[in-house]
């Protein structure tokens, strides 16, 4: 591996997750040297802990953060607004692996939804048609099941409960994918062993991430200088106002400067705006690229909720891939439901320790014990939809909280939009019906639990989408399926924008390589 000197101009990429990892691979494959700066450590697959809390402590970004707003996270998890990974590969090493595409109408949100009070909607500058060839490339790179001839993952019991419920309420579009975990050996990665550990990091190496694919291949070119434990604290610029270098701290707190021809900012949704805001100066007093005061605003997380149900027979939802099942019937814009946008239903399993930690506080005592005693008979469903961007939902620099380096920590402010609330209420009802029609319930055990559903293909599901976030609703008893806990934006990680991020990174790298080779940059 070549080491690029601090006084040698290069493309500097900040963050090694879906965007940064893909960018590093595509540029080095095109012959362009890159420096990849990652704030976290280089944790390899064999180092992962297959234990929920140990894995969380090993992987999570636990630097100081602050929260505000009416969202439940500000009350329950004020210092941890998101479960984002701080390690080489970024949060792809913790993601569920679902890889649906955005739908055509979602590229035209402002045109499609119209004037939604309080929402800051815009149409994308590109269309689904523009991005389609890059979606193809991203799906092939990630090994998405159900795509390009890739086989489906097998159905675990949690999916079988999920699929039978979908069938009983009349849904048609459900399957075990698309999912970026191998059902059979592919691209140097083995088939999944269905071990139930996915959010904790995949020791088996069957799940895609830049840690597994893009970064090793970029290193093999000799053109990538990967620097873990390198926390970027400022982007600097020359007299022309263009970025010319980055300043970063190593794990011992020593400050370094790396010059750059181009700076690619590929951090997460909290650290990227924080870095731009920290990069203020007399020329850019409100932060870099923030002349219009939009940096950090319009923060979106997902409209989310979860439905859990208990049966009289074991389900063992923890066996098999954690989140390998999607119902897409509700993922369409149908304002007659009382909201714009759509949502997906996906299989979900939390292990006993996480489930115990995130149950609603009022569930303590005999109710809590009953929930945990029935863990083996519990099935889980996550509901994830589009939330509305709002200018008031934003990342700012905290005036009171500082990180370990003495820098202002990010403050994450969030309030639900009325459309989010309407979608969540409707989605709860539909999720409850799917489980109830299959016999789930807390006081209504089902005596003929059928687990005969098989993997199937969605009808050309080149449409789906997701955002990042988690939020669960209040506990319920009786015939209603059990709703447990609330998790903040990414307390498990995490929704499905990664396919789109990778597709956009491939597209951007193609353009950037052309400009660099033409001498335009």
- 3-class SS letters over 214-257: HHHHHHHCCCEEEECCCEEEEEEECCCCCEEEEEEECCCCCEEE
Among 5, 521, 14, residue whose Cα is nearest residue 263: 14
pLDDT at 144: 97
Report whether 67 contacts 475 (CB < 8 A).
Answer: no
Element containing residue 396 per DSSP (H, E): strand 394-402
β-strands 243-249, 255-259 pairing: antiparallel
pLDDT at 287: 95
Per the rule left: phi > 0, alpha: psi between -120 and 50, beta: everything else, 316 is left
Give burial (CB, 10 Å; 0-12/13-18/19+) of 364: exposed
Report whether 393 contacts 361 (CB < 8 A).
Answer: no
CA of 17: how far to CAs of 85, 264, 269, 483, in Å? 9, 12, 12, 32
Residue whose entry in the numeric block shows the structure tokens 């790396």: 258
pLDDT at 355: 84
pLDDT at 455: 62
Report whether 22 contacts 213 (CB < 8 A).
Answer: no
pLDDT at 462: 28
pLDDT at 474: 21
SS3 for 345? strand
What's the token pair of residue 494? 């995490």
pLDDT at 463: 27
SS3 for 509? helix
> For the chain, how many helices (H) and strands (E)?
12, 15
Give the CA-trace dihedral at 105, 111, 116, 119, to 10 degrees: 80
Q: Could you tell me the mean pLDDT of each successive run of 10 residues in the chain, 521 residues long?
A: 71 97 98 97 94 93 95 88 94 92 96 97 96 98 96 93 90 94 97 87 95 98 98 95 95 96 94 96 94 94 86 90 91 97 93 81 77 90 94 97 96 97 94 70 35 50 27 27 31 63 97 94 86
pLDDT at 456: 52
Q: Where are the domains of the chain?
A: 11-517
Residue 59 makes CB contacts below 8 A (sequence gap 6+) with 43, 48, 85, 86, 87, 93, 94, 200, 201
Report whether 210 contacts 18 (CB < 8 A).
Answer: yes
Report whether 321 contacts 181 (CB < 8 A).
Answer: yes
pLDDT at 56: 93
pLDDT at 453: 58
Residue 110 makes CB contacts below 8 A (sequence gap 6+) with 121, 122, 123
Report whether 348 contacts 199 (CB < 8 A).
Answer: no
In this prediction the pTM is 0.90
CA of 142: how far to CAs of 192, 206, 211, 217, 464, in Å? 14, 11, 12, 14, 16
């Amino acid at each position: 591996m070549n080491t690029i000197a601090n006084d040698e101009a290069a493309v500097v990429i900040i963050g090694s997750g879906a965007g940064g990892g893909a960018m590093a691979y595509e540029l080095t494959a095109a012959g362009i040297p890159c420096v990849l700066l990652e704030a976290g450590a280089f944790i390899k697959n064999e180092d992962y802990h297959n234990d929920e809390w140990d894995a969380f402590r090993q992987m999570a970004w636990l630097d100081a953060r602050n929260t505000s707003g009416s969202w439940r996270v500000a009350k329950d998890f004020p210092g941890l607004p998101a479960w984002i990974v701080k390690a080489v590969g970024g949060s792809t090493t913790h993601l569920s692996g679902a890889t649906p595409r955005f739908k055509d109408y979602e590229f035209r949100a402002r045109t499609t939804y119209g004037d939604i009070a309080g929402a800051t909607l815009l149409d994308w500058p590109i269309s689904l048609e523009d991005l389609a060839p890059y979606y193809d490339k991203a799906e092939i790179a990630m090994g998405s099941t159900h795509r390009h001839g890739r086989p489906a993952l097998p159905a675990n019991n949690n999916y079988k409960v999920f699929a039978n419920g979908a069938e009983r309420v009349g849904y048609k579009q459900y399957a075990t994918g698309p999912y970026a975990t191998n059902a059979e050996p592919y691209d140097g990665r083995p088939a999944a062993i269905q071990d139930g550990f996915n959010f904790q990091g995949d020791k088996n190496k069957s799940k895609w991430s830049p840690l597994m694919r893009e970064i090793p291949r970029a290193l093999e070119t000799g053109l990538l200088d990967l620097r873990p434990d390198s926390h970027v604290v400022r982007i600097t610029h020359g007299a022309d106002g263009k970025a010319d270098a980055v300043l970063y701290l190593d794990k011992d707190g020593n400050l370094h400067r790396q010059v750059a021809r181009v700076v690619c900012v590929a951090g997460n949704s909290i650290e990227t705006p924080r870095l731009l805001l920290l990069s203020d100066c007399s020329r850019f007093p409100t932060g870099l690229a923030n002349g219009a005061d939009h940096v950090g605003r319009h923060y979106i997380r997902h409209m989310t909720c979860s439905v859990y149900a208990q049966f009289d027979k074991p389900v063992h939802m923890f066996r098999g891939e954690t989140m390998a099942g999607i119902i897409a019937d509700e993922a369409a814009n149908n304002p007659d439901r009382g909201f714009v946008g759509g949502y997906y239903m996906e299989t979900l399993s939390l292990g006993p320790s996480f489930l115990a930690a995130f149950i609603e506080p009022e569930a303590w005592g005999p109710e809590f014990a009953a929930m945990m005693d029935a863990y083996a008979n519990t099935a889980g469903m996550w509901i994830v939809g589009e939330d509305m961007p709002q200018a008031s939902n934003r990342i700012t620099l905290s005036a009171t909280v500082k990180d370990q380096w003495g820098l202002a920590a990010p403050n994450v402010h969030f309030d639900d939009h009325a459309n989010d609330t309407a979608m969540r209420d409707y989605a709860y009802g539909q999720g409850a019906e799917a489980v109830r029609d299959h016999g789930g319930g807390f006081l209504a055990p089902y005596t003929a639990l059928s687990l005969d559903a098989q993997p199937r293909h969605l009808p050309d599901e080149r449409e789906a989408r997701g955002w990042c976030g988690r939020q669960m609703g209040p506990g319920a008893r009786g015939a209603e399926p059990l709703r447990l806990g609330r998790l903040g934006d990414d307390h498990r990680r995490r929704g499905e924008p990664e396919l789109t991020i990778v597709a956009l990174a491939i597209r951007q790298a193609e353009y950037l390589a052309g400009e660099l080779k033409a001498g335009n940059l």
